[in-house]
């Protein structure tokens, strides 16, 4: 089984100052996504956890590339009976692991905790991991889409404040091109799980799927596709892979970058010498009526028969999602804490780090990041991705035709 050798190397020096793991320690295995985002987080969390629980050792498996990869990996490992004990899964992928009986309910563990309160978690966030009235995933990292702005570049183009609508964004692109920015924007259409397409639907108050039907065959779906076309064409947007999307912005070559708040920490660490400001996600003519909650949760998937391993896995889940763990996530990334206790720890931090507070200001807009139903859930995600890419590459211009073709193909993949 592959393990996260990069994180192991990072931890080597850190753990020298922590009490050594005892010889009788229980070892659990953990899998998480997005090495670039979370390696630094777990580098901070692990020594804190090990200090509190010197009798538990953690082996981190090779990092999942993204949330689709995380789910696919667990599904394969379930067949081979080689699953980790704890897995961090995208909020929109939890349902499939619950439906297949892979994820274990956490209710019995919660009931035994004297000081554990579900009220300690923001209800909207805890609801994302609750199925059939039972908690299967405790929220670990919660994100919302935001705008990243190079304020030096915007001021050079005569723009003093971040845009509030997508029409303003396109107008700004014209001004930025006039002062030398050939490709002034990147809009994260290719983020995992069709997140930005769902964001445009939610902005209009409509979920992408409800009551057994996809909703993007109506006027809201067409408006979402037309908005994408307007942004891609009006801003000369390049078709960059997700791993490279933030690099031109960090280098000062792109002035407006629309992405998850999760990347604030990474961009702050890599950006050039310019003023970075994050701001609320623009709306489609008016402020968004809602936005899909991104991020991931910690789930227990261990098949071990050893009660000590199961208990150790629960302790790690509890610690990571506690106020202390959630505060580390917020400090090292840009995710907002799912735990109210973390907010009490982060008051001064947010005063000094306003770019990481933007998502918190949008918390009232948090809505479900919808998982497509049935065994074809991942296939539906890919179909929507492929059709959206046709807009990015310029291979599709008739959005009404694209809408109908996409709707028909996706509908054919729904459970009968």
- pLDDT tens column, 276-305: 999 999 999 999 999 999 999 999 999 999
Q: What average pLDDT is seen over the chain?
A: 91
**Domain layout of the chain by residue ranges:** 5-142+293-365, 145-292+372-411
Residue 68 sits at φ, ψ, to 5 deg, of: -65, -45
**What percent of the chain lies above the pLDDT cut of 70?**
94
Which pLDDT band, with edges at 50, 70 and 90, does 275 fall under?
very high
Alpha carbon dihedral 173, 175, 179, 184, in 10-degree steps, equals -10
Question: Whats the size of the chain, residue-wise?
Answer: 416
Task: Please state, in angstroms and rounded to a whole number, the distance separating the CA atoms of residues 189 and 237.
Answer: 11
Which pLDDT value is given to residue 416? 81
Q: Among candidates 239, 143, 249, 132, which has minimal Cα distance to 193? A: 143
Query: Which architecture, in CATH terms, is 5-142+293-365?
Result: 3-Layer(aba) Sandwich (3.40)
Decide whether 5-142+293-365 matches 145-292+372-411 in CATH topology: yes
186 pLDDT above the threshold of 60 = yes
Q: 145-292+372-411, superfamily in CATH?
A: Periplasmic binding protein-like II (3.40.190.10)
| Residue 147 and residue 267 in contact, taking contact as beta carbons nearer than 8 Å | no
Distant-in-sequence, close-in-space partners of 185: CB < 8 Å, separation ≥ 6: 169, 173, 231, 235, 237, 254, 255, 256, 257, 258
**What pLDDT is recorded for position 346?**
86
Tokens of 129: 């991991």
Q: Which residues contact 115 (CB under 8 A, 6 or more apart)?
A: none
Cα gap 378→372, rounded to integer Å: 8
Pairing of strands 276-279, 26-31: unpaired
Distance CA 231, CA 37 (A): 27
As a whole number of angstroms, the distance between CA 299 and CA 87 comes to 5
Going by their DSSP bridges, the two strands 134-135 and 213-214 should be labelled as: unpaired
pLDDT digits (tens, 9 = 90+) for 159-184: 999 999 999 999 999 999 999 999 99
Per residue in 370-414, pLDDT tens?
A: 888 888 999 999 999 999 999 999 999 999 999 999 999 999 999
Q: DSSP letters of 387-398?
A: HHHHHHHTS---
Kindly report the pTM of this predicted structure: 0.85
pLDDT per position as a tens digit, 304-347: 999 999 999 999 999 999 888 988 998 999 898 887 778 777 88
How does strand 56-60 pair with strand 26-31?
parallel
Calculate the alpha carbon distances from 343 to 37, 52, 155, 337 in Å.
21, 22, 33, 7
Which pLDDT score, from 0 to 100, does residue 122 have?
A: 75
pLDDT of 250-268, one tens digit each? 999 999 999 999 999 889 9
Q: What are phi and psi of 176, to 5 degrees?
A: -70, -40
């Amino acid at each position: 089984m592959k393990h996260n050798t990069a994180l192991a190397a990072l931890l080597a020096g850190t753990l020298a100052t922590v009490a050594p793991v005892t010889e009788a320690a229980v070892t659990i295995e953990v899998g998480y996504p997005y090495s670039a985002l979370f390696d630094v987080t777990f580098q901070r969390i692990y020594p804190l956890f090990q200090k509190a629980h010197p009798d538990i050792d953690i082996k981190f498996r090779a990092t999942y590339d993204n949330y689709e990869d995380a789910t696919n990996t667990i599904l394969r490992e379930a067949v081979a009976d080689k699953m980790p004990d704890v897995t961090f899964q995208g909020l929109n992928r939890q349902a499939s692991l619950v439906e297949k009986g892979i994820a274990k309910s956490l209710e019995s563990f919660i009931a035994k905790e004297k000081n554990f309160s579900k009220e300690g978690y923001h209800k909207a966030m805890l609801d994302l991991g609750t199925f059939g009235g039972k908690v299967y995933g405790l929220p670990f990292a919660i994100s919302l889409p935001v705008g990243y702005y190079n304020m030096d570049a915007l001021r050079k183009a005569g723009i003093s404040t971040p845009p509030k609508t997508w029409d303003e964004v396109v107008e700004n692109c014209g001004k930025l091109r006039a002062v030398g920015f050939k490709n002034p924007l990147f809009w994260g259409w290719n983020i995992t799980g069709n997140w930005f397409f769902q964001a445009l639907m939610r902005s209009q108050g409509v979920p992408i799927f409800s009551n057994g039907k996809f909703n993007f065959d109506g006027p809201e779906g067409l408006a979402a596709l037309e908005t994408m076309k307007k942004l891609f064409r009006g801003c000369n947007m390049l078709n960059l892979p997700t791993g490279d999307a933030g690099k031109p912005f960090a280098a000062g070559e792109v002035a407006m970058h629309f992405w998850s708040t999760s990347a604030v920490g990474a961009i702050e660490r890599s950006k050039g010498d310019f003023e970075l400001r994050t701001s609320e996600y623009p709306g489609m003519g008016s402020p968004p009526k809602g936005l899909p909650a991104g991020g991931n949760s910690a789930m227990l998937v261990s098949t071990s028969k050893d009660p000590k391993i199961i208990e150790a896995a629960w302790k790690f889940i509890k610690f990571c999602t506690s106020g202390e763990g959630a505060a580390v996530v917020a400090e090292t990334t840009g995710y907002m804490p799912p735990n109210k206790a973390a907010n009490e720890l982060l008051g001064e931090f947010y005063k000094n780090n306003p770019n990481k507070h933007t998502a918190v200001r949008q918390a009232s807009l948090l809505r479900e990041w919808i998982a497509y139903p049935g065994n074809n859930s991942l296939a539906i995600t890919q179909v929507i991705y492929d059709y959206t890419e046709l807009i990015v590459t310029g291979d599709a211009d008739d959005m009404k035709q694209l809408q109908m073709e996409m709707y028909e193909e996706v509908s054919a993949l729904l459970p009968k």
